[in-house]
Each structure stands twice: as C-alpha cells, then as structure tokens.
Structure 1
C-alpha cells in the first residue's frame, strides 16, 4: 500500500483522535490514496470479524489505515531499521543555530500525558509551550488508577480533590487477578485487590481541565503541529530550537532552554535518543470500549463493582499467552484489552500483527465476557508498548533534551505503559525539571536523573518474561502454572505486600520475601527461571539485584539522618555544589515516588 503524508487532512486526524493507542503520539499519521471502504474490502477476507466490528463504529474504518501504518512502523523497528540521527536531532555550533519564532523555558514535544507536568511548571511561572500532531490534550478513553496515585495531582498543586472527582468515571470494590488453572496440578490462586487500578478516570475530562489550567497560567498550546526536528547548541549555553509544521505545511521554530520529549517510545526522536539500542520486550495490545455485555455476578458476566486487572481464561494459544484486562466505565460502557508479552527481534516482528491480534480478540471475546443481544463496540484501542529493561542502554536524555513518560521505554509487570507511572511521578518530575532549569543543569549527565525510573522496577522485567511461553507447543500451561504459584505466594505474604507490588512500590525486604516464599512453595521455579532466562538473563538479574540492593542501602542510611540535618545539607549543597545537590534530590524524589519517603 502506498502512503503519503497529508497534513491538510485535519478531519481524518480528528476522526482518529477518538482512539488513544498507547503509542499513538509516537507515530506520524499517514494517509493512503485509497478510500477506507476500499481498504476494508481488501482486508475483509483475512480479517472478517475485525472489519465487521469497525464498520459498526463511528469512523471505525479509518482505523484500518492507522493500524496498518503503526504495524508497519513497529515491524521495521523490530527489524532494526531505525531513523538516522541527522534527520531529527542536530547538534551545531551556536553560530549555526536557526532563528526561533518564539522563546520558551520548555517546549514539550507531545501533548497527551506530558500536559500534566507542563501545566504544573507553567503554574510555577515557567514559559512553556506544548505541541501535538492532534489537538493538545486529546484522549477519548478511560484509564485506571488508584486514589493514592490521584493524590499526587493535589500534591503537585495541579488539581483539587473536587476537580479530580469530576473526571472519575467509576470506582470498583476490588480488582481481580486470576490465571487459568485447568488441567494443571497447581490450585487456582485468585487475588482480589483494593487500592490497585480501582478508579476509572475519564482522561478526556482530566486533560481538558489540565489544558485550561495550563493556558490560564500562560502556557501555549500548539494544536495539529507535526514534529520535524530539534537543533541544540553543541557548546556554550544550552539552547534548543524545535521545528514543527502546521496543518498547512508551514514551518514554525520554537526556541527553548530545555526540550521535553513526550512523543512515545517508537517516535523517530525517541529511537535516536536511545542510540539505536533495540527493545527487550513488547506488549502488543488491542481492545474496544463496548456496551451490552451480560451484567451479573456469575463467571464471564460484567460486575460493575469489579475490575479485571490481569486475567487469563485458557492456556497458550497461537504460541502466546493471551491476557485480558477489563474495566467497567460510565453509562454501562466497558473497556476491554487483550494483550500478550513477547520478545523483540527479526524473528518475532512478522508475527506481531495488530490486525491478527484484533481478529483473535473478536473471536475469543465471548470466552472472556458473555455478549448480550445488544452488544455494541464503540471505539477501538490498540498499540505496541515496547520496553528496554535489563540491559544497560543509552540515556533517554541528551544535552538540552530530556525524555519523559513512555518515551523512556520503562516497564512494569503490571503498568506496562503508564498513566499511573506518570501521575505517581508528577511531583518528582516537576521538582527535578524546576531544579535543573533554576541551576542551569542541562547537560546529559544531569538530565539522565530526570524521569520515572525506579530501582525496584529494574527487577520487574523478569515477571513479564515468565508471562511469555517458553515452549507453547509442548508445555502450553507453563505460564498459568507459574503465575498461579506466584499469586499463591503473594496471597501468603499478605495484602500489604501484594498491593505494594502491583503499585510498583515494593521494597528490598518485600522483594526478597516474595522470591523466597515463591521458591519455598515451588522449588521448580529455579530450573524454570534458568530455562526461560538463560545464563545471560540470570547474569542481568544479578546485576539488577545488586543495584537495587545498593540503592536500598543508600536509602536506609539517608533515612537514619535527622530531617533537620538533611534539609540543611540539601540547602547548603544547592548553593555550593548544585550538581551534587541535584543528584541527591533525584534519589530522594525517586524514593518518595516509590512510597518510601514523604516529601
């Protein structure tokens, strides 16, 4: 299929705006020369269920082209076909910097979840601009989070509790984690958790409120601007110029002391910043928001008081362990996801098709939730959520350029991509960006400390590997067996540790207790781990564990100091050695975001 960019097709942009794939903002929108209906006819013989469902959705057939574009782009990335640095990121002598049409302290590339920290910084008095290839702050979907995490909006001074409540689409009594236990020796071990992804948020309302507060504070929203490139001074004072194109193809240049990359993990800019390092894992994800499922408390019925966090209903199929996630929303709506964890590489790329996964989604949906006679799919959701984890990778930042959110390719066993991670780290990100601007700490060695990374999550990648079948043909039940053992171990350790684990807030003692409990209950975890991870994976885990332990020791020692001492130390360092103070502040902010300290 031949595709060409047409920035002037703004109406098609708006039709696609009502879908928010996790990697949406990372991929330039391309439009083909054939109509959506013709494309649907071409794809219908192979994907009859998918095409039929999209036909019933408003603007649904337009998504076919976007899915193909995203799918093609991901497969190129997985094969190692990355963009050239000279195309999107340039470092030049100050005398060769292009002129800017306007000057700001920060320019945000990407205006979905990055809008929250942009709004906080604008309210602190910084000059901030945000641009996006769609309308800034657009996302027509629900996200799930907990009240503890929502409190970070209040802590950051962005929203009041009353304002947050206006965007709450629903609350659940608990969330279910359950893995299929048919024909395996391990008994089922369901977990029902409160305080984990138990609040559904209408992100469109929350983003609209953030946009209003951002603009009231003097922030500038630049809608329907496509990213072209960023140029940064090689020497001297740090300054960047971001080039964008508006819907009519006109170039605008935005000057900034600091450029913030919030474009997502597979944008050309993010790939270049990461130095071409390949991803370690990926989570292809599809789903829909729908109405008309059977409501009740029996298996496969929708209970509005319950959410499904991680659920499997069968052993491995098509060589993958499919996992379901589902959350009731407002007005009888329910958002359902189907996804699986996989490795990344040339041998895997061709099989990681979103259209194939969508066809499986519509075929298998009745095995997860029973459709009623009036079942209606309202809109699709889809994306690739890639991650870098156990290997040392290039910094997600460069001189004058810092990456935030999914652009850093973080990974959690639960929140693979992350509204929750963004919100949990909102005060941390705003505080560190403020410090770096106020003290002109804008070199890569400084900015690499800014972000949502956590030392405890450096170990979480191992759990996603256990959720991918090692030998799906001979042992299709491996994943469910191990996860039932793991859930039983979590249940044995108690609700506190279990909740901390699924909130990405587990500490060193938590982790060791969990590993030892799992090994005690199922000694086969050791040979299984070696089989799945191999010698290189075990070596990486040991390295991650040692770094995690060193950070835990540093945190423990720091916590023993009287608060008055630490306050004086940080104040004095800020005057005498701001770079050292910034490094210490980065550690403290990480510990606070992880729930170990209070600010």
Structure 2
C-alpha cells in the first residue's frame, strides 16, 4: 500500500507519497490525512503572475496570499452576528482637568493637522498646506500610488487645480491614457454611448508623486512606516502615539484610513455594513479591440454562486501600460450574510465569463495583475464626527456613492468644500464634534442612492424574473438618454439631483408600468418608504439651495464668527446634498 506522510514546507504542511515500509510506533507527526487539495485556477493564475510594488489602500495588493487574507476577513464579517465583538478603542477622550501640555516635551512635533492615511489623505493634506496650515501625514506603508490606473474625467481633475493641489500642467503629466466613447449596456437589450465619462486613465504613481512633492515643498511632513497606536483627545490638543514610540501633537486629526479604518470601527461599534460591493478583475495584455470603455455593462442575468445569488456587472478600460492592455472589473452587490460569495469564488466565475464578455480567449491573454476588493457601505453616511478634534475624510467618512464606490471622484468633488471648512474650523477653534459634524452633513442625494444599490442586488427569494435587474436598468438608462445630458451625465458621475431623478422616474412609470410590481418585490415596501423620505428631503434641499440660499448668504458676514461658520456649512449641505454643485 501507499503511505501518506506529513512534511513541513516553508511553514505550510503538504503531502508526499512514499513506498511502504515496516510499521513503527506512531510518532506525534504521523497523522491520518485527507488527500491534498488541488490548487484552484485562481491560485494557479495568481501564483504565476509576478507581484511587485504592493502598496496600502484599496486595490493596492495583488498576491494570492493577500486575497486569502481578505477572504478570511470577509468570511468573518459574513458569519458574525449583527454586532461583532467590541472593536479596539483607538480614540480616548481625556477628562478636561488634564492638558496635552503634559506631553509637549515628548512630542516629535506639533501641528495644526495630522492626516492619518496617505494614499488619499495626501490630497486633503496638500490642500490645507496650500492654505498655510502646518500639516503632517502618518502612513503605515511607503506613501506611493498603486500601479493600477484610476479612471476619472478631466472635469473632475480640474477641481484639484481649483483648490491648489495640482497645476493644470500636472494633469497632463499624471494622465496616462485618454479614450472615448464609453458604453452602458445590459444583456443584449441595447447600448448607450457617452463621451468624456471616466475617459482618462490617471497613474496613481505619478499623481501621488506630484502631489507629494508639492506637499513637501509647502512645508508638509510625512511619517512613513508608522501606524497609529492610539489617540488621546485633550481639551487643547490631540496626541497621537505611533508605532515606534513616536508621539505627535495636533489640533485636529483627519482620519483618511479608508473603509476599514480602526477609528471608524470604533465609532460604528463593529456594526456590520448595510451593503457591500465585491470587485474582482485583471489587467491583461492581448486585447486587439481596445479603444473604448464600459462604464457599466451586464452580459447575463442573475447567477447562482455557492449558496447565494449574484448579478454580475462589468467595467472595462484601456490600460496605459500598453496598446493591447485592458483592465476588466467584474462586481456585484451583496449583503454581509452567511453564504455570500467569496472573492475567490467570484474570480473562478470571472475566468469563465470574462472571455465571452470581451470576445477573447483566456489562453491568448497575458495576465499582468489580478485585482480584488471589498467595499462596505452604511446607510448612516456621511459619518458625523464622534469625537472632538477627529474628522473622517474620504472613504472613511462614507461620502462615496453606495453604487459606484468612486472614492477618488468623490474626493475631487468635495475637496474644496471640506478643505475650506477645515481651515475655518482651525482658525476659529471650532473643533468640537458638533461643528466638525457640519463638515460631514446629512446628504439626501447620497441616501437616496441606496435604493439603486438594493435594486441592483440579487436576492434568493425576490420572486422576480432573472432578467429583471437588467430590464430595470435598461429602462432607466434609456429614459435618461431620452431626457438628455442634463439628466444622464450627472447620474453617470455619481450626482443625484431632484429634477432629473423625478423626470426619469416619471418617464419610466409612463413607458414601463409593467415593471412596477417587480420593483416592490425586489426592494421591499420598507425600503421604498425609507427611500421616499430621502427623496422628499432631496426636493426640500433643492428648494432651500435654490431660493433660501440667495436670501441668507448676504447676511453671513454680519453674523458672529461661529454662527457664520455654522451657517456656511448649512448652505453647503443644501447645495451638495441636492447635487447642485454639479455643472455640465
């Protein structure tokens, strides 16, 4: 007979097959073993790809080991109860009888603002430096961009120029590729083509290097290879204790540590997200037709994945690394519940579906890198400040769309508003949690977007046809196209406005009344009632920004400084919460 023997290999047990020999007394290393698991296709492909230059932030890791770690995190999130174990207490408020000056001699520096998390934090840090504030960045890795392109429009990049983060020439330096037109399509029902939507591929390596140089030239300081151990909030300052026993003192801490920020976990008390977008994909070489992009495309109806259902969507963009290189993403919206698909399961489906979607054989492609990510989102977003002197920014604040999860586009849109507000808060010492929360206010257009994510999420027992999601999306996009650019373009750039949304819904009900019962089945009456509240608030904010703002604004300079600060934030909340900051 054959003998299976356990042997260590690089710290991981594996199996070898040997010839029979006389039986001996069993040692502690002799075990009854299952046959060795055959590596999955995903594992074989990923381990054949050269991995280098992994960085922090979403999408910054490409290895199979990192994929397994993320899947373990995702599985624990799915299997947990509604509230997981109490998270680590990173931030502590110190009673007012103590003052931070007791630690002044130990601090390596005192700053107006310390930004924790540099990948997107470098943009807000540079905007504040450009206003004359003393700013430092704490980054647990080396502060550099990932290899994978960020897709965005030129219009959005120009907003970085307006706040002093970039020069207009820098846009050309950072832009690696430019392509048009861009497609939206849904399972053979028809395609809608637009121009100048996510049509630029920006190199994160280049743009972060440019902004980093500007930040340092303005006097900014960067602490790389340092993670946040704890933050103590005193009456007069916040004190950060970093790994390596470094201590920094700051008037304000900006948490830009992303979706899985430990401070956000503490504020949300470990609560499970209300929705999750799972994304997998590749950047590969070998695409002959590579001059257009897909903003959103669905090539199939709802599919079964393990114990759950999933509706797959696609994005595809030409990549800057070569004329035949293309980045293809497959994503789906799910809930963090037992049975939800793992990223590796989605990748297994990706290898089957992507060749048909792109019209190319997998054997003819050279996989340059495999991409994957988990993007959680919460109904209670943006996240109000829970502590004095601590403010969430970017993905950590939840201000990105629950449909697109476009963190970089959301950053460019809100950077001017938030940096101006922070500058005023620092100068006026309005750093309590109430005044900081005015910088991350309730935005009904963001809350109204929740209905779209729910409508695009497959459910086990929704009693709707398998192609309902595609039918609904095509009906909406067709109506928006008929209504023209003032309706379609804002929506494609994550801006929901009352007028365009009302027109679209009205036209859908007139032209496709037969899908209304399925909408109720798909999303549920409670969700529709909750959405109706945000829809009404969207109309109310539109009214306030259009008619009340012009009346109130001339009186701002006559008010006391603190009251003026607060009213400016209210006017901004009306404008941005109604999507009226967007201009064609």
TM range (shorter): 0.7 to 0.9
Cross-structure match for 1:380 = 370
Cross-structure match for 1:73 = 73
Which of residues 254, 260, 267 in structure 1 aligns to 2:261? 267
Tell me, yes or no, if the aligned pair for 2:49 and 2:367 is still in contact at 8 Å.
yes
Matching of residues 334-345 of structure 1 within 5 Å = 334-345=326-337
SS of the aligned residue for 1:371 comes to coil
Cross-structure match for 1:209 = 210
CA offsets, 1:405-458, max 9 Å, x none? 111224526532311111111111211111111111111111122249743222
Compared with structure 1, are the counterparts of its residues 58 and 161 closer, same or farther at alpha carbon in structure 2 (3 Å cutoff)? same
Compared with structure 1, are the counterparts of its residues 88 and 35 closer, same or farther at alpha carbon in structure 2 (3 Å cutoff)? farther
Which of residues 467, 480, 494 in structure 1 aligns to 2:456? 467
Matching of residues 59-208 of structure 1 within 5 Å = 59=51, 63-78=63-78, 79=80, 80=82, 82=84, 84=86, 87-94=89-96, 95=98, 99=103, 100-181=107-188, 188-208=189-209
SS of the aligned residue for 2:68 comes to helix
Give the Cα separation in 1 of the matches to 2:494 and 2:419: 20
Of the structure 1 ranges 432-441 and 37-46, higher mean CA displacement relative to structure 2 is found in: 37-46
CA offsets, 1:371-428, max 9 Å, x none? 3665111122211111112x58963543211101111224526532311111111111
CA offsets, 1:244-264, max 9 Å, x none? 21xxxx221221111111111
Cross-structure match for 1:225 = 226
Compared with structure 1, are the counterparts of its residues 528 and 455 closer, same or farther at alpha carbon in structure 2 (3 Å cutoff)? same
Of the structure 1 ranges 421-430 and 500-509, higher mean CA displacement relative to structure 2 is found in: 500-509
Q: CA deviation at 1:472?
A: 7.3
Cross-structure match for 2:303 = 317
SS of the aligned residue for 1:524 comes to helix
Matching of residues 583-594 of structure 1 within 5 Å = 583-584=569-570, 586-587=572-573, 590=576, 594=580
Give the Cα separation in 1 of the matches to 2:497 and 2:99: 49
Matching of residues 231-246 of structure 1 within 5 Å = 231-233=232-234, 236-237=235-236, 239-245=237-243
CA offsets, 1:467-488, max 9 Å, x none? 1123479732121121122222
Give the Cα separation in 2 of the matches to 1:39 and 1:448: 53
Number of equivalent positions: 537
Give the Cα separation in 2 of the matches to 1:395 and 1:310: 31
Compared with structure 1, are the counterparts of its residues 158 and 134 closer, same or farther at alpha carbon in structure 2 (3 Å cutoff)? same
Cross-structure match for 1:54 = 46
Q: CA deviation at 1:153?
A: 1.1
Matching of residues 246-285 of structure 1 within 5 Å = 250-285=244-279
Tell me, yes or no, if the aligned pair for 1:273 and 1:397 is still in contact at 8 Å.
yes
Structure 1: gaps of 5 or more residues: 1-32, 182-187, 297-302
Compared with structure 1, are the counterparts of its residues 173 and 37 closer, same or farther at alpha carbon in structure 2 (3 Å cutoff)? farther
CA offsets, 1:245-290, max 9 Å, x none? 1xxxx22122111111111122322111234443211001111211
Q: So what's the TM-score if we normalise by structure 1?
A: 0.83
Cross-structure match for 1:595 = 581
Give the Cα separation in 1 of the matches to 2:164 and 2:575: 16
Of the structure 1 ranges 406-415 and 419-428, higher mean CA displacement relative to structure 2 is found in: 406-415
Give the Cα separation in 1 of the matches to 2:293 and 2:135: 37
Give the Cα separation in 2 of the matches to 1:143 and 1:470: 31
SS of the aligned residue for 2:63 comes to helix
Q: CA deviation at 1:111?
A: 0.6
Cross-structure match for 1:488 = 478
Of the structure 1 ranges 459-468 and 82-91, higher mean CA displacement relative to structure 2 is found in: 82-91
Compared with structure 1, are the counterparts of its residues 254 and 392 closer, same or farther at alpha carbon in structure 2 (3 Å cutoff)? closer
Tell me, yes or no, if the aligned pair for 2:442 and 2:577 is still in contact at 8 Å.
no
Compared with structure 1, are the counterparts of its residues 262 and 119 closer, same or farther at alpha carbon in structure 2 (3 Å cutoff)? same
Give the Cα separation in 2 of the matches to 1:278 and 1:457: 19
Compared with structure 1, are the counterparts of its residues 218 and 384 closer, same or farther at alpha carbon in structure 2 (3 Å cutoff)? same
Give the Cα separation in 1 of the matches to 2:358 and 2:36: 25
Give the Cα separation in 2 of the matches to 1:589 and 1:102: 38
Compared with structure 1, are the counterparts of its residues 75 and 210 closer, same or farther at alpha carbon in structure 2 (3 Å cutoff)? same
Compared with structure 1, are the counterparts of its residues 45 and 477 closer, same or farther at alpha carbon in structure 2 (3 Å cutoff)? farther
CA offsets, 1:192-248, max 9 Å, x none? 111311111111100010111011111111112122222112xx33x2112221xxx
Of the structure 1 ranges 170-179 and 584-593, higher mean CA displacement relative to structure 2 is found in: 584-593
Compared with structure 1, are the counterparts of its residues 490 and 551 closer, same or farther at alpha carbon in structure 2 (3 Å cutoff)? same
Tell me, yes or no, if the aligned pair for 1:290 and 1:378 is still in contact at 8 Å.
yes
Q: CA deviation at 1:96?
A: 6.9
Matching of residues 498-513 of structure 1 within 5 Å = 498-513=488-503
CA RMSD for the aligned pairs? Answer: 3.0
Which of residues 524, 527, 530 in structure 1 aligns to 2:520? 530
Of the structure 1 ranges 64-73 and 331-340, higher mean CA displacement relative to structure 2 is found in: 64-73
Of the structure 1 ranges 472-481 and 132-141, higher mean CA displacement relative to structure 2 is found in: 472-481
Compared with structure 1, are the counterparts of its residues 272 and 83 closer, same or farther at alpha carbon in structure 2 (3 Å cutoff)? farther
Compared with structure 1, are the counterparts of its residues 410 and 379 closer, same or farther at alpha carbon in structure 2 (3 Å cutoff)? same
Give the Cα separation in 2 of the matches to 1:499 and 1:386: 25
SS of the aligned residue for 1:87 comes to coil
Tell me, yes or no, if the aligned pair for 2:449 and 2:496 is still in contact at 8 Å.
no
SS of the aligned residue for 1:112 comes to coil
Q: CA deviation at 1:361?
A: 1.6
Cross-structure match for 1:425 = 414
Q: So what's the TM-score if we normalise by structure 2?
A: 0.85
SS of the aligned residue for 2:247 comes to strand
Determine which structure has more spread, i.e. the larger CA radius of gyration: 2
